[in-house]
Copies of this chain bind each other. A is one copy, B any other.
Amino acid sequence: MSWRKEQRRAERGYHHGNLKEALLQAALGLIAEKGAAGFTFADAARMAGVSAAAPYRHFRDRDELLSSIAQRGFEQFEQRLAAAWDDGRPDTVTAFERVGKAYLAFAREEPAFYNAMFESGVPVDANPALQAASERAFNIIRAAAERLAALTPPGTPRPPAMMMALHIWSMAHGVASLFSRGDAARRKLPMSPDELLEAEVLIYLRGLGFPTDRRPAGKGAEPPPVPPEAPSGSGVPPGGTPGGPWGKPK
C-alpha cells in the first residue's frame, strides 16, 4: 500500500465520513475531463482515497452513480432555467430568449452534468426519480411556451404550446450538442453558439407572428409592427439593437 494512501487514511480514519458526496464530486470532475464514457468507477474511488470496492456501499453500480449525477444535473438545470425565465419578466419574449441563453450557458458551464444528462446513455426512463427531475426541468420550458402561445398574435396560426416547447428544446439542445461543447465546439463557426441560437429562436418566433423587429434586419424597412404582446398589451419593447440578431447581411 502506498504511503499516500496510508497518509490519507491517517487523516480521515477508517471511515471516510462523506464518501457518497466525495464520489459524486470526483465523478463530476472526471466526467468533465474525459467524458462520461471515459469515466471510471475505480478512478473515482481512487480520487476519494478509498478502495475500489467502497463505492458499492453507496451505489449499486457504476450506472447508478451516473444516474445520480444526471438527476442532480436536471435539478440544477431546472433551477437555472427557472431563474432565467423569471416568470416571464419583464416581458415574455425577452424572458424566453433568456431561457435559451441559460440553456446554452448550462451546457457550457456544466459540461459534466450536461454530459451525464444527455450524452451518457443513461436511460432516463429507467429511473422514476430521474425522469421526474427531467420533466420538471422541461416544464420550465413548457410553461414559458404556454405563456408565449397565449400571446400569439391573432390571425396567426397557433401551434400547441407543447409543440412550441419541444421546438425550443430541440433547437437549444441541437445547438448545444453540435456547437457548444467538447470537440464539437471546435467546429469553427462564423458566430458564437449564443448568437446562433438567439437568431434561430427569433426567426422561429417571427414565424409565429411575434414582432421581433426590435432588431431591424439590415437596412430594410421595419417589419410591420404587430401590436406587441397581443391581447393585453404589456409587451415587447419596440426599440432594438441595430444590425439584427444575425448581423448585417452582406
Fill in one digit per residue for A238-250: 1 if any B CB lies within 8 Å of its CB, else 0: 1010011011011
Q: In the complex, identify which listed stretch (A15-23, A73-81, A216-224) lies at the interface while the others stay far away.
A: A216-224
B residues near A203, Cβ cutoff 8 Å:
159, 167, 204, 207-208
Fill in one digit per residue for A180-221: 1 if any B CB lies within 8 Å of its CB, else 0: 001110110111000011011011111111001000011011
Cβ-defined contact, A196 with B163, below 8 A: yes
Determine the distance from Cα of A126 to Cα of B184 in the docked complex, in whole angstroms. 11
Interface of A is mostly: helix
Contact among B175, B179, B207 for A206, CB-based, below 8 A: B207
Cβ-defined contact, A249 with B160, below 8 A: yes
A158-B217, A203-B208, A223-B157 known; A178 vs B187 contact (CB < 8 Å): no
Number of A interface residues, CB 8 Å? 65
Q: Does residue A129 face the partner (Cβ distance < 8 Å to B)? A: no
A123-B183, A162-B190, A183-B125 known; A157 vs B207 contact (CB < 8 Å): no
Q: Does residue A170 face the partner (Cβ distance < 8 Å to B)? A: yes
Cβ-defined contact, B173 with A178, below 8 A: yes
B residues near A67, Cβ cutoff 8 Å:
none
Cβ-defined contact, B187 with A157, below 8 A: no
Determine the distance from Cα of A173 to Cα of B217 in the docked complex, in whole angstroms. 27
B residues near A205, Cβ cutoff 8 Å:
207
Cβ-defined contact, A166 with B250, below 8 A: no
| Distance of A186 from chain B, by nearest CB (Å) | 5
Cβ-defined contact, A158 with B218, below 8 A: yes
- Which partner residue on chain B sits nearest A183 by CB separation? B123
B residues near A123, Cβ cutoff 8 Å:
183
Q: Does residue A231 face the partner (Cβ distance < 8 Å to B)? A: no
| Distance of A40 from chain B, by nearest CB (Å) | 13
- Selected A-B contacts with CB under 8 Å, 25 pairs: A37-B121, A38-B121, A119-B119, A121-B182, A125-B186, A126-B183, A155-B221, A156-B220, A157-B217, A157-B223, A159-B203, A159-B246, A166-B179, A166-B196, A167-B203, A170-B171, A170-B175, A170-B197, A170-B200, A171-B174, A171-B200, A172-B174, A202-B207, A205-B207, A206-B206
